Chains A and B, each alone.
Chain A
Amino acid sequence: MSDSPFIALQKLNSYYGSRQILHEIECTIPRRKITVIMGISGCGKSTLLRHLIGLKPTEAGEMSIEGKDVGTFDESDMRAYRMRMGVLFQGGALFNSLTVAQNVATPLKVHTRLADSTIAIMAAIKLHLVGLTGAADRMPSQLSGGMRKRAGLARALAMDPEILFVDEPSSGLDPITAAGLDDLILELRETLGMTIVVVTHELESAFRIADQMIVMDAGKILVAGAPEEIKSNRDPRVVQFLERRADERRTEDESYMASLLGGRKVECEIEE
């Protein structure tokens, strides 16, 4: 059982209204590994994450968790799955009306019968883990973006999750804090054997932490594999992404002209 993947996706199609966001996604999330999902913005990686954490419903047969089909999950199955996972959202998603420590304590207060003093110690431990010991009694509005993100990570870890989902860990962080967050993610995998899924577009951090990478483009998986395989991949889109080249501008020229001229075709020659 321990070798089987935690999550497996088979031909996942996802729509928003009538627009198709994801096309036939097939991939697996292995246990006790860090999987990094990469791609430029708008490639569908956030939608994929929403499927993985059960915020966007999946059809039967498209996604399975430990061999069980998520499409057939009822409310209590989903609850049980969510009790095992932690999610760090892009902005931290802290509750504004609670202090940082109360935020971290919330899942424990709701789901366990632990004494308040035990919960307080647990919250302090998690806050120390992300380096926010001094900020326990502050309100989220008093924190910087990086601190909010770290507090969000402390809350995601509050229930000692088996699987951790992280949305854009380093966006908007200074390089030192971002590197510290990467180190912590690595340490969690090493010491606790946590399964971790990171969605990011930061190449450097991705290659530092990834055991497995999934590169997405326009709602499809471009390539998936170990970081070295990705690096040596010769697919032009992958190379372009890795080399951070901008899209060629010429492709859009025609529609640009059309928008300027209201769709009229104009021909113009320059006489010398």
Chain B
Amino acid sequence: MLVDLIRSLGRYGLSQISFLGRMGIFFYHMVRGLARAPRKFWPTMRQVLFIGSKSLFVISFTAVFTGMVLGLQGYYTLSRFGAKGMLGAAVALSLIRELGPALAAIMVTGRAGSAMCAEIGIMRIEEQIDALECMAVDPHAYLITPRLLASLIAIPLLTAIFDVVGIFGGYLVGVALLGTNPGAFITGMEKTVEWNDVHMGIVKSLIFSVLVIWICTYKGYFTGVDKGYFGPEEVSRATTEAVVLASVAILVSDYAVTSIML
């Protein structure tokens, strides 16, 4: 019994180590593909369009409600301290520093990241990735690099849209519904939000874009490879794993980045 337990623990440990090692090598190949970035212009633009068109609606939608909730909660919390005038600042700061980058990245994971993982997973099970290798085409540079570049462009932009729409949502509830002074809302925001806050949001969204693409394409790329079995159900498994792992990674790294940058 005990031997079995130790053996399975060891096996688990080994598989985790090899997983991390393979992910590291995958990251190296992904970054190395950037050397040929100029030739990737059109494929990258197509991926920007893909990420943007997939996620824009859902991001605006979540953003407006996130802003509205922030406005509502902020109003009642701040009014306890008699600081209703700070509502604009509270909404804007929490969106720009925290919720905008994290939620936008999670939404992109759910919409575009999962689709990428499934697309690349299908390429794996249909031997298309093998075919690329046999054509002497580096599959990392061909498949992953344009997606990485595209997410580095699209996710910060989507984050900016999330912030703006979210602030609008907060304004809607705080000013139009609950009757805060509109001037106080805007000037409070203007006075408190500094370049440092925006900078933090941008850094976060860049880190998240790398994480999303790294994890989602990695999971798709190695669909079924561990089992040596390349059935369609492996694609759905890989996609689920990718979304869960990427979302967790975003939240964990969010904490890490915040603690480093503060």
Given contacts A90-B127, A93-B127, A95-B128, is CB(A111)–CB(B134) below 8 Å?
A: no
The reply to whether B135 and A55 form a contact with Cβ atoms under 8 Å apart is: no
Output the least CB separation between B22 and chain A (Å): 14
The reply to whether A96 and B122 form a contact with Cβ atoms under 8 Å apart is: yes
- Interface locus among A77-85, A130-138, A224-232: A77-85
The reply to whether B135 and A82 form a contact with Cβ atoms under 8 Å apart is: yes
Whether, in the assembled complex, B126 has its beta carbon less than 8 Å from a beta carbon of chain A, the answer is: yes
The reply to whether B136 and A89 form a contact with Cβ atoms under 8 Å apart is: no
Output the least CB separation between B140 and chain A (Å): 12
Query: Which residues A58-116 have CB closer than 8 A to chain B?
Result: 78-79, 82-83, 85-87, 89-91, 93-96, 106-107, 110-111
The reply to whether A110 and B130 form a contact with Cβ atoms under 8 Å apart is: no
Bound form: Cα–Cα A155–B132 in Å: 11
The reply to whether B126 and A93 form a contact with Cβ atoms under 8 Å apart is: yes
The reply to whether B133 and A89 form a contact with Cβ atoms under 8 Å apart is: no
The reply to whether B136 and A82 form a contact with Cβ atoms under 8 Å apart is: yes
- Of B127, B131, B135, which contacts A110 at CB under 8 A? B135
Bound form: Cα–Cα A16–B229 in Å: 12
Query: Which residues B111-156 have CB closer than 8 A to chain A?
Result: 122-123, 126-128, 130-131, 133-137, 142
Given contacts A16-B228, A96-B122, is CB(A87)–CB(B134) below 8 Å?
A: yes
Q: Which of B131, B137, B142 has most chain A Cβ within 10 Å?
A: B131
- Chain B residues lying within 8 Å of A159, measured Cβ to Cβ, are 135
Output the least CB separation between A49 and chain B (Å): 11
Bound form: Cα–Cα A106–B132 in Å: 9
The reply to whether B133 and A82 form a contact with Cβ atoms under 8 Å apart is: yes
The reply to whether A55 and B136 form a contact with Cβ atoms under 8 Å apart is: no
- Of B122, B126, B131, which contacts A87 at CB under 8 A? B131
The reply to whether A82 and B128 form a contact with Cβ atoms under 8 Å apart is: no
Bound form: Cα–Cα A123–B14 in Å: 47
Number of A-B contacts (CB under 8 A): 52
- Chain A residues lying within 8 Å of B126, measured Cβ to Cβ, are 91, 93, 96
The reply to whether B137 and A55 form a contact with Cβ atoms under 8 Å apart is: no
The reply to whether B128 and A83 form a contact with Cβ atoms under 8 Å apart is: no
The reply to whether A107 and B130 form a contact with Cβ atoms under 8 Å apart is: no
The reply to whether A89 and B130 form a contact with Cβ atoms under 8 Å apart is: yes
Output the least CB separation between B44 and chain A (Å): 15
State the interface size on chain B (CB cutoff 8 A): 14
- Chain B residues lying within 8 Å of A120, measured Cβ to Cβ, are none
Bound form: Cα–Cα A155–B130 in Å: 14
Output the least CB separation between A83 and chain B (Å): 5
Residue of A nearest to B122 (CB): A96
- Chain B residues lying within 8 Å of A111, measured Cβ to Cβ, are 135-136
The reply to whether A94 and B128 form a contact with Cβ atoms under 8 Å apart is: yes
Bound form: Cα–Cα A152–B142 in Å: 19
- Chain B residues lying within 8 Å of A90, measured Cβ to Cβ, are 127
Given contacts A93-B128, A93-B131, is CB(A107)–CB(B228) below 8 Å?
A: no
Given contacts A90-B127, A93-B126, is CB(A53)–CB(B228) below 8 Å?
A: no
Residue of B nearest to A83 (CB): B136
Output the least CB separation between A155 and chain B (Å): 8
Bound form: Cα–Cα A5–B98 in Å: 64
- Chain A residues lying within 8 Å of B136, measured Cβ to Cβ, are 78-79, 82-83, 107, 111
Given contacts A82-B136, A107-B135, A107-B137, is CB(A55)–CB(B228) below 8 Å?
A: no
Bound form: Cα–Cα A95–B123 in Å: 8
- Chain A residues lying within 8 Å of B134, measured Cβ to Cβ, are 53-55, 82, 85-87
- Chain A residues lying within 8 Å of B135, measured Cβ to Cβ, are 82, 106-107, 110-111, 159
Query: Which residues A159-203 have CB closer than 8 A to chain B?
Result: 159
Bound form: Cα–Cα A96–B126 in Å: 10
- Chain A residues lying within 8 Å of B142, measured Cβ to Cβ, are 110
Q: Which of B122, B130, B133, B136 has most chain A Cβ within 10 Å?
A: B136
29 contacts between A and B (CB under 8 A): A16-B228, A17-B228, A53-B134, A54-B133, A54-B134, A55-B133, A78-B136, A82-B134, A82-B136, A86-B134, A87-B130, A87-B134, A89-B130, A91-B126, A93-B131, A95-B123, A95-B128, A95-B131, A96-B122, A96-B123, A96-B126, A106-B135, A107-B135, A107-B136, A107-B137, A110-B142, A111-B136, A152-B131, A159-B135
Shortest 8 CB-CB contacts between residues of A and residues of B: A82-B136, A93-B131, A93-B127, A87-B134, A89-B127, A107-B135, A79-B136, A93-B128
Chain A interfacial positions (CB closer than 8 Å to B): 16-17, 53-55, 78-79, 82-83, 85-87, 89-91, 93-96, 106-107, 110-111, 152, 155, 159
Q: A87-B131, A106-B137, A110-B137 are in contact. List 13 more A-B contacts (CB 8 A).
A: A17-B228, A54-B133, A54-B134, A55-B130, A82-B134, A85-B134, A86-B134, A93-B126, A95-B128, A106-B135, A107-B136, A111-B135, A159-B135
